[in-house]
Structure 1
Amino acid sequence: MISGGCRCGATRYTLAVDVIPPVYCCHCLDCQSWSGSAFSEQAVVRTDALSITGPAIDYLYQTRSDAESHQRLCGVCHTRIYNTNTARPGIALLRAGTLDASDKVVPRAHIWVKRKQPWVSIADDVPTFDANAPPAEFIAILMGARS
């Protein structure tokens, strides 16, 4: 079981998985704004593997492509925990920094690197994409043997 939670500890979650799920980093301007940082780290999980307890707010965001993105935040400290999107049913994007074992996260890919801050360095052996990755290739990378 993998666990994590918000900054204040009021909202916690568990993942019904044995290992940290695959993580990627996104450097797009939306992720920079949402995270207040240079990029976001997102763990890809099945929604049925995620259980959340404590106060959670569901913030609905309408995407440019007209999909609904539901952002789940702690109801106390407003840490963004995860989001789901009608364009990706059954999948949640968990903020990897909220994992209790966030120090064990190793990103498998970086997307939107054309918007990457110039001081961010990415290891040479990690796949990068100027914008969104081609879906089939991205899934293969995330589900591959990289750790």
Structure 2
Amino acid sequence: MEGGCRCGSVRWRIEGERIPRTYACHCLDCQTWSGSAFSQQAIVARERFECIGKVGQFDLPSSDGNRISNQFACPACFTRLYNTNTSRPGLVAIRAGTFDDSHQLTVVAHIWTKRKQPWLTIDERYPSWPEGAPQAELFRLIDAPVAGLSRK
């Protein structure tokens, strides 16, 4: 699976047998960063991810100072491509809109729904949380690679 920025200066690819499942985050930061009602991302193991091309990086510390989110974007067109986070070592969160086949992605969970836009209706078949989801449960739903978690 492959993807990249809008101008084509940066491309990425992941190894895998299927397109990853994604989640939607409705927090205010994600609304601001995406310029939309929510952000959608897939989490994959860092060793399965390869980025080709030069990316710009900016680091955002959390308000409690316990983690840092490293944001990676194309320096030419400023497309936000992916991020890493000190609370999720060895993992990469890829922005869903940067997948070449983004139309094939499935959202299987929603977080920070207390901040969702009032006009947006979330399908009740999918789990959602008013704030952040328990990491083990969210990662099980999206089939994210986490040591010690089973893949049932």
Q: Could you state the TM-score of these two structures normalised by the residue count of structure 1?
A: 0.93
SS at 1:108's partner residue? strand
Q: Residue 34 of structure 2 corresponds to which residue in structure 1?
A: 35
SS at 1:137's partner residue? helix
The answer as to 2:57 corresponding to 1:58 is yes
- Give 1:22 deviation, angstroms: 2.0
Q: Residue 71 of structure 2 corresponds to which residue in structure 1?
A: 71
Q: Which runs of 4+ in 1 moved over 3 A?
A: none
Q: Residue 127 of structure 1 corresponds to which residue in structure 2?
A: 127
Residue range with higher mean Cα deviation, 37-46 or 128-137? 128-137
Inter-partner Cα distance in structure 2 for 1:65 and 1:46: 26
Q: Residue 88 of structure 2 corresponds to which residue in structure 1?
A: 88
Q: Residue 140 of structure 1 corresponds to which residue in structure 2?
A: 140
Q: Residue 148 of structure 2 corresponds to which residue in structure 1?
A: none
Structure 1, gaps ≥5 residues long = none
Q: Residue 102 of structure 1 corresponds to which residue in structure 2?
A: 102
Q: Residue 115 of structure 2 corresponds to which residue in structure 1?
A: 115
Which amino acid in 2 is paired with 1:79?
T
SS at 2:107's partner residue? coil
Which amino acid in 1 is paired with 2:12?
Y
SS at 2:3's partner residue? strand
Q: Residue 25 of structure 1 corresponds to which residue in structure 2?
A: 24
How many residue pairs match? The answer is: 144
Inter-partner Cα distance in structure 1 for 2:120 and 2:6: 25
Which amino acid in 2 is paired with 1:134?
P
Instruction: Report sequence identity in percent.
Output: 44
Inter-partner Cα distance in structure 2 for 1:25 and 1:43: 9
SS at 1:139's partner residue? helix
Q: Could you state the TM-score of these two structures normalised by the residue count of structure 2?
A: 0.90
Structure 2, gaps ≥5 residues long = 144-150
Which amino acid in 2 is paired with 1:14?
R
Q: Residue 7 of structure 1 corresponds to which residue in structure 2?
A: 6
Contact 1:55 / 1:76 at 8 angstroms: preserved in 2?
A: no
